[in-house]
Amino acid sequence: MLVAASTECFRDLPLVDAINRIIDLEYSHIEIAIHESGQQLRPSQLAEDLVGSVSLVRDTHRASIVSYSIEIEATDEVHYEQFAACCRLAKATKVVTLTVPSGELGTPFNKEVEHLQRLVTLAESEGVRIGIKSQVGRLSEDPDTVKVLCDNVPGLGLTLDPSHYICNPLGPRNYDRLIPYVFHVHLRDTTPTELQVRIGQGEIEYGRLVNQLNQVKYDLALGVHLAELPGVDHMVEMRKMRLLLESLL
């Protein structure tokens, strides 16, 4: 396994500046956020200028890209066109894993299965795979639903974010049965009432998680995914998290 940081950790910065900040913190692997509502790279921008987008993301100053996080706001066929462009970007930059959100709560199960099957088909055509992100407020907030989705959509995996199973409206949820489906990981520290707290003040059992991932021979990234907290030195938290995870590997 290796330790990576998401450009979402510096979501208010342009992409190049966010990458530079991550490198300053001595991370050698990054995840790039491609979010329509973000300040960095947008799916609509990527679809309009794939060549320029490939050039932009390759300018990572020796850091390796381990994954892309995709959030597309377009609907209908435009959604799939933009997703296909993201898959082509991944292939061009030799990135295997894309993270996408699952449907919002209330989305009919069969509709979600059809949507995810189409995404998986598009991804596999470019040699890429997708993981749905653990996320409160979406179908993936429930571990049982995640397992059923993955079992019903061959090739689908999970971007595991344990925080959303600890700070969960239904109470802390056991996610052990999801470990075999993990394609990528997002990490911070969390309590049952706060999605993110300072590193070391929450309930994430990092060592236990690493051991579980080792048991299924997971050898990809542990992705640091920290938002800035008021009154907390964000750079210190980012460095602390890197050192903590590296000490476990």
pLDDT digits (tens, 9 = 90+) for 197-229: 999 999 999 999 999 999 999 999 999 999 999
**Across 157-248, where does the E strand assignment appear?**
157-160, 182-187, 221-224
Q: Give the mean model confidence (pLDDT) for residues 98-126.
A: 96
Residue 60: pLDDT band (50, 70, 90) is low
* 189 neighbors 200 (Cβ within 8 angstroms): yes
* CA 122/CA 79 separation, integer angstroms: 12
Count the residues in the chain: 249
Q: Which residues contact 45 (CB under 8 A, 6 or more apart)?
A: 53
**pLDDT score at 213:** 97
Residue 61: pLDDT band (50, 70, 90) is low
Q: For residue 192, give the CATH number of its domain.
A: 3.20.20.150
* CA 132/CA 113 separation, integer angstroms: 12
Average confidence score pLDDT of the chain: 95
Q: Which tens digit of pLDDT belongs to each residue from 118-165?
A: 999 999 999 999 999 999 999 999 999 999 999 999 999 999 999 999
**Residue keyed to tokens 């296909």:** 84
Range of the domain at 44: 2-248
Residue 231: pLDDT band (50, 70, 90) is very high
* 100 neighbors 130 (Cβ within 8 angstroms): yes
* CA 137/CA 169 separation, integer angstroms: 9
Number of domain units in the chain: 1
